[in-house]
Structure 1
């Protein structure tokens, strides 16, 4: 029999038993789970970074739309963020596959997809020498597509420009009377053929998006998507309480009842300054709402369109959209912008 030293009670066994052993196994399993998650998360990040490098080029000032901005370039009117080296507009690769003719024209910078459908139906478009009047006609990437005899080439680089439109400029790419258009303000910002998304009257100022992305233009202008716009309105006389309430109920116009989502006084002490939020894209809709009740709109400025604002963009100037802004536009939900 082994003789006891009397110090055994001060020694702790190194062998774990019962609950202690179970806890050790539990912790080891948790550690293995954490390591496995970390491994797959790292793989996911590496794949995402590789995809981003292969498919996207950083926009000038692509800092998520935030940050300090410099004064506009004196020559081009472009607004750039501080501390960012000049770069190229956002570029995304298109898949080389057949597409509907109206979509092909939109990607070629002719106009939006809905307008392109009308152009096709008018008989102005030929594909490989044959007149095509069906907007859904499938076109190969290398097809010889012409509008009024002028060849149209699909754009590879998608460009997105936000402009703070001033008064006196037409929201169009060309004017037969040779009046000033919004494209005159861009000073060859891009070699791609871009066009305005939606329309602002000649005497309306504010946020205007220009792009050659026909799919996005279609999404932002289609009535079913209920893209919201916010306007600052200046009237020739104070808006009465009765008319204020009538507008909120709906305004009967020749092309149907016009509804506003929000109506408010920008300055409670000045009833001529009105803020209007609506999602209708009908022609001159804001002006016609107030003209219906005998008001003359002295000034109309769009301060927001599809979540985009003119912040840090002086009147008559422009900037490329940041990558985050483009993603937000592509994946917005109905009525959220």
Structure 2
């Protein structure tokens, strides 16, 4: 009987090579920050997307992360998704760049990650508080779409005490030039009735300021203290932090429910 020589570790065995991770093409496009998955499906159906040089119109088509995906001639890169929360200070504008050289919120998060992130919605130059940044195009679209009614809470400082009559009128709804604006809740915070908290899901431009200006009040300070499920707890003014996995899941769950 012939004796067998002991083999070394792994000798005689075929080396295992894991298959590259496959993802749906619409997710790849969304991860690249182009648009939401639903919008990506439209781009694919319209023949605007190429994979390795060939137009793909098949729904549910899967690609490897190493594949070359192009949209309108531009190569896309599915980046690691980032979620960064900033406590915006005063005198910063919510734009990616400014031709007049003014301070933008991008200056405050430029060291947050290597990926290119964008603000979700906007805050006025003189409005402070919570502002989310991400390269997750699908989530950003949901968080800003009015039909998902994402809750936002502001602390408002007025130039004079609010009257009981105006308080009730605001809660009942205000007819502005671009439609009705009805807060979800409102409360007086200080004894002098100049500081209030207002909860609203409407995302129209300068909506909180315009509500109070409609009744003759000037908003001296406006601070967003809650956005969706996110709060300013342990986040100093002008600083940012990355969301935890739990916070990300909460936001996705919040924006993934039935549209209203």
TM class, shorter-length:
0.7 to 0.9
1:206–1:302 CA contact under 8 A, matched in 2: yes
Identify, as 1 or 2, the structure richer in helix. 1
* Deviation of 1:153 (Å): 2.4
Q: Provide structure 1 residue ranges, at least 5 long, that are not aligned to the other structure.
A: 1-92, 121-125, 129-135
**C-alpha separation between the residues in 2 aligned to 1:182 and 1:109?**
19
Q: Which residue of 2 aligns with 1:109?
A: 33
Root mean square deviation, CA, Å:
3.2
**C-alpha separation between the residues in 2 aligned to 1:235 and 1:299?**
7
* Deviation of 1:127 (Å): 5.3
Report whether the alignment pairs 1:283 with 2:205. Answer: yes
Q: Which residue of 1 aligns with 2:94?
A: 171
Q: State the number of aligned residues.
A: 224
Residue 295 of structure 1 aligns to a residue in which SS? coil
Give the direction of change, closer, same or farther, for the CA distance of 1:150–1:315 in structure 2 (3 Å limit). Answer: farther
TM-score (norm: length of structure 2): 0.75
Report whether the alignment pairs 1:202 with 2:125. Answer: yes
Give the direction of change, closer, same or farther, for the CA distance of 1:251–1:172 in structure 2 (3 Å limit). Answer: same
Report Cα offsets for 1:129-154 as digits up to 9, x if no partner. Answer: xxxxxxx9x997622335xx865423
| Residue among 143, 165, 170 paired with 1:220 | 143
**C-alpha separation between the residues in 1 aligned to 2:163 and 2:21?**
53
**C-alpha separation between the residues in 2 aligned to 1:231 and 1:221?**
17
* Mapping of residues 247-258 of structure 1, within 5 Å: 247-258=170-181
Residue 274 of structure 1 aligns to a residue in which SS? strand
TM-score (norm: length of structure 1): 0.59
Report whether the alignment pairs 1:230 with 2:143. Answer: no
Identify, as 1 or 2, the structure richer in strand. 2
* Deviation of 1:217 (Å): 1.1
| Residue among 194, 198, 203 paired with 1:272 | 194
Q: Which residue of 1 aligns with 2:14?
A: none
Give the direction of change, closer, same or farther, for the CA distance of 1:173–1:150 in structure 2 (3 Å limit). Answer: farther
Residue 220 of structure 1 aligns to a residue in which SS? helix
Q: Provide structure 2 residue ranges, at least 5 long, that are not aligned to the other structure.
A: 1-19, 51-58
Give the direction of change, closer, same or farther, for the CA distance of 1:259–1:317 in structure 2 (3 Å limit). Answer: same
